[in-house]
Amino acid sequence: MNFLNIQNLSYFFQDGDSQRYILDDISATFEKGTFYTILGESGSGKTTLLSLLAALDKPQAGEILIEGKDISSIGFESFRRNKTGIIFQSYNLICYMTAVENVLVAMSITQNELPPNHKEVAYNLLDYIGISKEKADRTVNKLSGGEQQRVAIARALATNVDLILADEPTGNLNEEMEAEIVEIFKKLAHQHNKCVIVVTHSVVIAAQSDVCFRLNKGKIEHVQFASPEAAQTQQPFGAVPPQSPEYAPQFAARV
């Protein structure tokens, strides 16, 4: 059984008497242990697709199945709490809370089984992502952009989910921070068996993923790159200036 399937998915806007398709009868499969990217120009439907995968919106047609079950039958709110972690370009952290408090909030709303010592696990997750205890106790508005994005990744992991979705997660970061965040996504997929799906306009990031899809005129297609190095010479799409079961012992053991 595939981990995540989209089947004959369509999403459109009503434009007068006609329908403007953003996604037009698309299908794709995603597996755990794999780092995916979804590439496309601005307005191609990348964020729309991610919103559908995250149960933040509903398709007009088609199905999204996780482990064979339609997410609508799970319930959208339940799916967001218990099945997926979402990472946003603008971080979407609670600015008056500390880094560790942001992670603890996510842990408090899930129904997934977690280790009993939530605070210890939260610190361990942040440490694993590269946030020291001293920084974990700072309010997030006193952290750099790269550090805030790390906190957002830890928050997404904190509910013990297998599906990690990220919308332009490096769009506000410099090249060095971008490279570090991409390495974290690779590690989450390859070492911790997560299904990581990242929407990006960056060909360089897409070339480092295991599987890349491109959205174009409402359709989805598979993209292959000769090498990540070759992608360095290509221009990004629509680029704009910067503006598990093993979960408990795996992270709780990191003291």
Phi and psi based region of residue 88 (left: phi greater than 0; alpha: psi -120 to 50; beta: remaining): beta
pLDDT of residue 228: 61
The matching CATH number, chosen from 3.40.190.10, 2.40.30.260, 3.40.50.300, 3.65.10.10, for 34-45+83-252 is 3.40.50.300
Residue ranges of domains in the chain:
34-45+83-252
Give pLDDT, residue 227.
Answer: 63
Model pLDDT for residues 6-22, shown as the tens digit of each residue: 999 999 998 888 899 99
Residue 248: what pLDDT?
A: 37
**Regions in the chain scoring below 70 on pLDDT:** 226-255
Spatial contact of 221 and 23, defined as CB atoms under 8 Å apart: no
- The predicted pLDDT at position 65 comes to 98
Say what the pLDDT of residue 172 is: 86
